[in-house]
Amino acid sequence: MSTPTALPGTRAHAFRLLGPFTFIREGALPRPMWPKPRALLALLLVAEGPVTLERIGAELWRGRPPDSAVANIRGYIGLLRREVGAAAVRTGLGAYELALPQARVDAEEFRGLVDRAEVTACPRQRRELLEGALGLWRGPALSGIEHGPLLESWVERMNGHRRRALLQVAELSLEAGQYARAQDVLRQHLVGSPTDEAAYQLLMRALHGAGDSSAALAVYQQANRRLVDHGLFPGPQLRGMQQAILSHLPLPTC
């Protein structure tokens, strides 16, 4: 989605991509929309620049567009123009682009908070910014949308950004001695990411730091079971942390 100067004929919108895909038109929920127009709207929102008819067809029909694809896409574009404003959907040479400079998009707000956190020197403020960014997530990104390859790639990138922000919050909480906070963040994350070894390491560190070494060792056993269930095995860092706890040695720092 491009961000030029405001255009006549566009409307104020809020788009929520970090969870069930919804958009609010001028303060009110829009009319229900069929799956493919919704997926097209999401695609234009996350795209960086114009999207060709060919790419749209490949996305909406997973590489096998019907003979009527171009006509269908043009019909979807007409529907989107009625929903978001005629001037908001730009037509180029066989391509379309969304131009909504006044729209609020939670994914853009998330990235903005993460970017601010990266240049913030104060650990407390950095953690607060990251927690604010994570608070924008309401569930799996773009849930309720049919994902083609382009949307799936975007979702994977956003999941990666979310994971990094979450692990940073846990690390900053550990550095501040807030072990319970770190444990809560990591346990919630591991529900949906049961093979994330870095999260298990931080959780073991948080439990050990809080004086509960037996619980830290239990987390290692849990990690081992979950990894094996997925055809994996604990890596050297996770095993090293277990051995350090068993041997009453300082935990490895990396």
pLDDT greater than 70 at residue 30: no
What pTM did the predictor assign? 0.88
Which strands make up the sheet holding 89-91, listed edge to edge? 51-52, 95-98, 89-91
Closest C-alpha to 224, from 214, 233, 213, 235: 233
| Domain 13-98 falls under CATH 1.10.10.10 | yes
pLDDT greater than 80 at residue 31: no
User: Which range is least confidently modeled, 1-5, 14-18, 152-156?
Assistant: 1-5
Mean pLDDT on 23-38? 81
Per-residue tokens: 38: 């919704």
Largest Cα–Cα distance in the chain? 69
* pLDDT tens track for 127-172: 999 999 999 999 999 999 999 999 999 999 999 999 999 999 999 9
Cβ atoms of residues 114 and 64 within 8 Å: no
Report which residue type is found at 70.
Answer: V
**CATH number of this structure's domain 105-246, picked from the four choices 1.20.120.1200, 3.40.50.720, 2.60.40.420, 1.25.40.10:** 1.25.40.10
CA 162, CA 175: separation in Å to the nearest integer?
20
User: The tokens 């690390």 sit on which residue?
Assistant: 171
Could you tell me where in the chain the CATH 1.25.40.10 domains are found?
Answer: 105-246
Could you tell me where in the chain the CATH 1.10.10.10 domains are found?
Answer: 13-98
User: The tokens 């604990």 sit on which residue?
Assistant: 234
pLDDT greater than 80 at residue 28: no
Q: What is the average pLDDT score of the chain? A: 92
